[in-house]
Amino acid sequence: MKIISINGEEVTPSLNGHPWDGDNDLFAKCVAYDEPERAQALGIYPFFRPIEEMDGAEVICEGKRVLMVGSNNYLGLANDSRVVEAAVEATRKYGLGCTGSRFLSGNLVIHEELEERLADYIGKDSALLFSTGYFANQGALTCLFEEGDFILCDKENHASIIDGCRMSPAKIIPFSHNSPESLRRRLSRLPAEAGKMVVIDGVFSMSGDIARLAELMDVAGEFGAKFYVDEAHALGVMGEAGKGSAHHTGTADRADLMMGTFSKSLGCMGGFLAGDKDVIKFVRHKARCFIFTASPTPAVAGGVLKALEVMQEEQWRVVKLWENTRRMHRGFRELGFHIGTTETPIVPILIGDEQKAFFFAQRLFDNGIFATPAIYPAVRRGQAIIRTSYMATHTPQQLEYVLETFERIARELHIFEDDVYQRAAGEIPQRHHDTSLPQPVRTAAV
């Protein structure tokens, strides 16, 4: 009988419950993979919940209205009628899709207008659109390097950065999370003449902490390394007019490349890379996932142009987002939850055991709250979380309800007494005081 390995665990393939000799069958592992079915049988499968209607802070899901605390719609713009109308208008004018790459037949005037507006907004020479934020990272990180170059990559960087690094001819050198000391040690061992770039999330997507950009850039500068900041979760959230973590920390001029997404604060999908005009020209002509894929739809370009305008005009959204963020940091800490080192609207609630995290998410849903667990490989094994995130448009009543409900379910499931939780709580650093930053600000006060 063939034994196969799934995620490092040895399993015997079975077909509909019967042992199955799937020798040489490439798909044997798919037949044997039954984790989703096992969670479904327990009624705790938390993924792919179909949403029927979306109304910003609330959605209709599985026939009931639930409060959304699991999206990245930080400013509530995904459902803003002006943004939606702009997307519809662009669709009417240009059609549903461009049916071609920007490189060839899919380049619209509004794509170029959006690139100019983004470059101007973020304070760089030039910007380049990608169909997703994932592609923006992959495109830049694969085409800018040659064999013999090095990418210094924070160990908690987003999967799109890791995947981009893996596809690049450069050697990947991981450094300890957010640690200038570790970065210095790594850089000091590399050949002085080699090309190098430090790549980091400005705001980390699972822990919610902020990159120590000024110190990391000082170190990179000592060794002549270029610096790349992923602003996916910082855009619209931090810095003057929501320009991101580099602006927030006063380091935007020292960031050689800034990458952003439209899939979070801007409420849409797509991404961009911004930097020096020669670098952007190079990426525009070399990045395979830019060249060999259809351009962003007219709806994306039109909708994001409008979202960018609304975001800049309506500063109250950022102010409200931070009021809500501070309330939730304080509230969860007062209730004894372990929320790690977050300083942003991403608030990870430590549960520890994966199955308990699934149960927790299901109990939340039963109580009218939509939030999903994050498990390995998104977080380390035994450090499962419920990843919550907050929006400018959540009301104080909604937030109080979230806190009350989390407290009740944590008691019901004995979360804090669990061994796995206690071990994880001992391993993950935690901030005990409120360091959430007032917005908008220009310099870091952390």
Ligand X SMILES: Cc1ncc(COP(=O)(O)O)c(C=O)c1O
Q: Does 232 bind ligand X (CB under 6 A)?
A: yes
Residue choice 205, 249, 293, 398 for contact with ligand X (CB under 6 A): 205
Residue 175, strand partner residues: 154
Give the residue among 349, 340, 369 at the shortest CA–CA distance from 416: 349
Q: Give yes or no for residue 263 binding ligand X (CB under 6 A).
A: yes
Map residues 243-262 to x or -, x wherever contact with ligand X holds by CB under 6 A: ------------------x-
- The verdict on 271 binding ligand X (CB under 6 A) reads yes
Dihedral over Cα of 346, 351, 354, 360: its sign = negative
73 binding ligand X? (CB under 6 A): no
Active site residues: 205, 233, 264
Question: How many residues sit in the footprint of ligand X (CB under 6 A)?
Answer: 14
Residues whose CB is less than 8 angstroms from the CB of residue 18 and which lie 6 or more positions away in sequence, other chains included = none
Whether the bond between 46 and the residue before it is cis, its omega within 30 degrees of 0, is: no
Q: Binding to ligand X by residue 165, rule CB under 6 A?
A: no
Sheet (strand 58-61) strand order: 51-55, 58-61, 64-68, 369-370
| CA-based nearest residue to 87, from 236, 264, 305 | 305
* Chain centre to alpha carbon of residue 394: 20
Note whether 357 and 387 are within 8 A (CB): no
Per rule CB under 6 A, is residue 297 in the interface with ligand X? no
Whose Cβ is closer to ligand X: residue 110's or residue 203's? 203
Site for ligand X in 96-135 (CB under 6 A): 132-134
Least distance from C-beta 271 to ligand X, angstroms?
5
Q: Which amino acid is at 301?
A: A
**Cα–Cα distance, 211 to 190 (Å, whole number):** 23
Q: Does 439 bind ligand X (CB under 6 A)?
A: no
Q: Judged by CB under 6 A, does residue 372 bind ligand X?
A: no
For residue 210, the minimal CB distance to ligand X (Å) is 12
Q: Which C-beta is closer to ligand X: that of 375 or that of 420?
A: 375
State the binding string over 139-158 for ligand X (x if CB under 6 A, else -). -------------------x
The CA distance from 328 to 403, in Å, is 8
Taking the C-alpha atoms of residue 350 and residue 173, their distance in angstroms, rounded to an integer, is: 29
- Burial status of residue 69 (CB atoms within 10 A of its CB: 0-12, 13-18, 19 or more): buried
Angle at 38 between CA 349 and CA 426, to 5 degrees: 30
Shortest CB 179 distance to ligand X, Å: 18
Question: How many residues can be counted in the chain?
Answer: 446
Give me the least distance between CB of 136 and ligand X, in Å please. 7
- Residue closer to ligand X, measured from CB, 207 or 393: 207
Q: Kindly tell me which of 46 and 164 has the beta carbon lying closer to ligand X.
A: 164
Exactly one of 209, 215, 230, 343 binds ligand X (CB under 6 A); which one?
230
Residue 414: CB atoms within 10 Å? 10
Q: Which CB, 271 or 440, lies closer to ligand X? A: 271
Contact call for residue 74 and ligand X (CB under 6 A)? no
- Give the nearest residue (CB) to ligand X: 133
Question: Measured from the CB atom, is 263 or 265 closer to ligand X?
Answer: 263
**Whole-number Å distance between alpha carbons of 141 and 163:** 9
Give contact residues for ligand X (rule: CB under 6 A).
Answer: 132-134, 137, 158, 160, 201, 205, 230, 232-233, 261, 263, 271
